[in-house]
Structure 1
Amino acid sequence: MKATETSRFPQVVIIGGGFGGLEVAKALADQPVDVLMLDKHNYHTFQPLLYQVATGSLEAGSIAFSLRKNFDDQKNFRFRVAEATQINPEKNTIDTTIGEIAYDYLVIASGSTTNFFGNKDIEHHAMPMKSIPEALDLRYMLLQHLEEAVLKATKEEREPYLNFVLVGAGPTGVELAGALAELRNNILTKDYPELKKDEMKVYLVDFMPRVLSAMSEQASAAAKDFLTKMGVEVLVNVKVDNYDGETITFEGGKSVRTKNVIWSAGVMGSVPEGLDKDIIMRGNRVKTDNICRVEGFENIFAIGDVAAMITNDTPKGHPGVAQVAIQMGKTTGKNILHLIKGETTESFKYFDKGSLATIGRNKAVADLGKIKFQGFFAWVVWMFVHLISLLGFRNKVVVFINWVGSYISYNGGSRLIIRRFVKEAVPQDAEPLPNSD
């Protein structure tokens, strides 16, 4: 593979500064390659703690870390704020918001976005939570609606402002439901003495038969029990029919009046244009071979949430979790070096280190291989794992201090409305909005 015109070394372009992209870049440190990373933000987001930003427990800066600073000692690394819009495999270039960029090797690590399954009504009115800007929008909406509820004279008028419906009972939905329940149980009447706890309702909805369906039945049962005891109404085997911004309706006729619908029911890969539709699999993921190389190409790779490595062991691809992206990133970095040197590549093998989910104070579930446990010890393990996984010493210290303060006071976070969130109006000439099915 020849180097690009601007360098005597092969240029590796990485689209995305998430968990996978970071590992590719680190694996190429001090190697005879030039690394260029592109991302629409100049920071890495620690997504597992987004829900704490959304509920005001943590500030956004404590779960974000500068991508430039993270690689300031890596001499062969460059970074640009840009979005990749089109891949041109025939020219070995990509079109971006800052112009055309040439590559010798391309790694698509662009992650995923919220999947609304084609329902434009829900897409417009519900709130996603896949990025820091979205988490902040959710925080400000939540706080604004609590402020609005204080101004309403009757319980009926307050109801839609105080009903919170979370669609999707995976880790994000479960953790956010627990955080909202704790806000109601420990903070609501302190901040808003005019309101009553029993007026704020938290619903967790999923079409699957149990919460945390990707984890063990033991973890699922414990999580549901924790949530129920905290006052969350858990609705499983329930499919959302529609949401118009005022009322969410479910198949079978049940409905809830609410202005707060948070959607975490599915994700889909964020794939730039330019690849053959035949290799775009279910969930908008790119089909790869056993070394994470995009099918049909010698020098394009896809990793993490955007990749679909279909094998007998993984007929639906790997789960969309951080550990998959991290391990794929490490393997891909090594394999790019193997290809440059003409060496034999290594097949990707995923090692499942286990799953963790927290439900609230002293409550978490853990599946670590054959070892499964719940409660306080699982909560301590969850905190430790997430703390050491954060980028930056300052972030670790800030998050730890916030957690200690919240644990002691039962009243963590400042919950300031720094800017108002206003949902855009539906265009007047919009076509009729279809249902999800």
Structure 2
Amino acid sequence: MEDNHIHSISSKSACKVTDDICLPDTNWPRLVIVGGGFAGLALVEKLKNKKVQVVLFDKNNFHQFQPLLYQVATSALEPDSIVFPFRKQFNGYKNVVFRLAVVEEIQPTSNIVRTNKGDVHYDYLVLATGTTTNFFGMDTVADNSLGMKDIRDSLNIRHMMLQNLEQAAITCDDEERDTLTNFVIVGGGPAGVEMAGALAEFCKYILPKDYPEYPSTIMNIYLIEARGELLSSMSDKASSKTLKYLEDLNVNVLLNESVSNYDGSKVITNRDNIIMAKNLIWTAGVKGQFPKGIDKKYVVRGNRIKTNPFLMVEDYKNIFAIGDIAAVITEKTPKGHPQVAQTAIQQGKYLGTSILNIIKNKPIKPFEYHDKGSLATVGKRKAVADLGKFRFGGYFAWLLWSIVHLMSISGFRNRLMVGFNWAVSYFTYEKSNRLIIRNFNKPSESKSTINSQPAVKKITIND
């Protein structure tokens, strides 16, 4: 790349003719990143104080640590423990600019991104927009249940749970009380398993103290998984151990079963079973989300963007995709890489090095994913781990899970807060954040034909 790119960024704000959003004046090439998740943040970290202007767009002004969303949902942590402001994160990064905006469209022919705040020109563009909850076209389920993809979802789940428990204490109708205190989690992956375990411990240790009006046995938890095993991406040993741990916590695990409809009170499964529940949490699938402008022929299964081994979107020399949105289709990875945090972080770091080499007209190497193993926790002091050839579970796996997640959280204060909360909970099983800060208004019940279906078997709360 020519030497005229190598100048410092002045403090003066300026816009190119094609820009509507003012950015610091620079002669360096401009890299626009859309999305500040694990992938986007890892890329920013790799490029900090390098000779490239990095502009990050995100609809939020914070990064969120998604693996612990379930702990916010079950009152174990406050939301500010697992979110970290971008501007605080980038303090001292002289070449990084954050703008709060939603990128709505890409115009590859003119190298412009269109946002809800205006247009910006780019030299290089990186899509790191992640995924959203996939309800697989079931509108009634989407309208009446809650996903768990961001911090707002977690707070909605918390408020829904606490409001329903309070209403159950008020009502004199036994059937209504049962429906209000039944919880259904759909999806037996890490998010679903961890949510089920946390809810089970809430039922066991918190419910008897807070709600002496009724026994803790009134709160029933169902985990529904369409496959024949839990944690299908992990080993058989991890799957079987997880099933035992959950059953020990009195979670009703339904394998080879899926939800076909839900009207806000009644869950119907593919086996024609009915579960009456006012609380349904959906963790059964995700799909990619990204702005308009990418040719549909490059969009593959799961609404992911197909890239070459260098993470370039095919047929685009200056547009890249990383993280959950990217599908690197090769002979070794015909379905793309796993949609997990470690993949996103590795891709962000790799692309940072590649971008610098591209700017300097140096060759780049294809991306290679290194699987560092998988961990999942199932309540207090119980977890499962697949680390290379080692497969184990129990207390040591839980301790390892805790250390890895604690060290991965952004910010010393956040690590301290989470660590303190975990230490208190370890000895007392206390969840001190049982606050209804705002009312959660559940979507109106769907007017589907769910009630016109033939008679089905009903799963009672005592099953």
Let me know the Cα RMSD of the aligned residues: 1.7
Shift of 1:167: 0.2
Please give the residue correspondences for 1:31-50 in structure 2 after superposition, counting only pairs within 5 Å: 31-50=50-69
Q: Deviations over 1:211-239 (max 9, x none)?
A: 00000000000000000010000001002
Residue of 28, 36, 61 corresponding to 2:80: 61
Q: Which residue of 2 aligns with 1:82?
A: 101
Q: Which residue of 1 aligns with 2:92?
A: 73
Shift of 1:156: 1.8
Structure 1 stretches lacking a partner, 5+ long: none
**Aligned counterparts of 1:330 and 1:157: Cα–Cα separation in 2:** 52
Q: Which residue of 2 aligns with 1:409?
A: 428
**Aligned counterparts of 1:431 and 1:325: Cα–Cα separation in 2:** 41
Residue of 322, 327, 334 corresponding to 2:346: 327
Could you tell me which amino acid in structure 2 is paired with residue 48 of structure 1?
Answer: P
- Whether the aligned pair in 2 keeps the contact of 1:155 and 1:199 (CA below 8 Å) is no
Label 1:397 to 1:347 Cα distance change in 2 as closer, same or farther (>3 A). same
Please give the residue correspondences for 1:196-345 in structure 2 after superposition, counting only pairs within 5 Å: 196-345=215-364
- Whether the aligned pair in 2 keeps the contact of 1:162 and 1:199 (CA below 8 Å) is yes
Structure 2 stretches lacking a partner, 5+ long: 6-14, 17-24, 454-463
Label 1:95 to 1:431 Cα distance change in 2 as closer, same or farther (>3 A). farther
Shift of 1:427: 8.9
Determine if the alignment matches structure 1 residue 123 to structure 2 residue 142.
yes
Q: Which residue of 1 aligns with 2:460?
A: none
Could you tell me which amino acid in structure 1 is paired with residue 153 of structure 2?
Answer: E
- Whether the aligned pair in 1 keeps the contact of 2:263 and 2:445 (CA below 8 Å) is no
**Aligned counterparts of 2:198 and 2:446: Cα–Cα separation in 1:** 34
Shift of 1:155: 2.8
Q: Deviations over 1:148-170 (max 9, x none)?
A: 11012243221110110000000
Please give the residue correspondences for 1:89-100 in structure 2 after superposition, counting only pairs within 5 Å: 89-100=108-119
Shift of 1:412: 2.2
Question: What is the DSSP-based 3-state SS (H/G/I as helix, E as strand, rest coil) of the residue aligned with 2:45?
Answer: helix
**Aligned counterparts of 1:431 and 1:168: Cα–Cα separation in 2:** 24
**Aligned counterparts of 2:277 and 2:67: Cα–Cα separation in 1:** 26
Shift of 1:431: 12
Residue of 366, 377, 390 corresponding to 1:358: 377
Give the number of the structure whose alpha-carbon radius of gyration is greater. 2
Question: What is the DSSP-based 3-state SS (H/G/I as helix, E as strand, rest coil) of the residue aligned with 1:360?
Answer: coil
**Aligned counterparts of 2:184 and 2:449: Cα–Cα separation in 1:** 26
Shift of 1:89: 0.3
Q: Percent same amino acid at aligned positions?
A: 48
Q: Deviations over 1:328-354 (max 9, x none)?
A: 001111111111111101210000000
**Aligned counterparts of 2:326 and 2:287: Cα–Cα separation in 1:** 10
Task: Name which of structure 1's ranges 251-260 and 56-65 shifts more when overlaid on structure 2.
Answer: 251-260
Determine if the alignment matches structure 1 residue 113 to structure 2 residue 136.
no
> Normalising by structure 1, what TM-score?
0.96
Could you tell me which amino acid in structure 1 is paired with residue 33 of structure 2?
Answer: I
Shift of 1:313: 1.2
Q: Deviations over 1:296-330 (max 9, x none)?
A: 10000000100000111111111110000000001
Q: Which residue of 2 aligns with 1:188?
A: 207
**Aligned counterparts of 1:414 and 1:292: Cα–Cα separation in 2:** 42
Determine if the alignment matches structure 1 residue 388 to structure 2 residue 407.
yes
Please give the residue correspondences for 1:149-168 in structure 2 after superposition, counting only pairs within 5 Å: 149-168=168-187
- Whether the aligned pair in 2 keeps the contact of 1:291 and 1:331 (CA below 8 Å) is no
**Aligned counterparts of 1:296 and 1:303: Cα–Cα separation in 2:** 16
**Aligned counterparts of 2:81 and 2:216: Cα–Cα separation in 1:** 30
Could you tell me which amino acid in structure 2 is paired with residue 110 of structure 1?
Answer: T
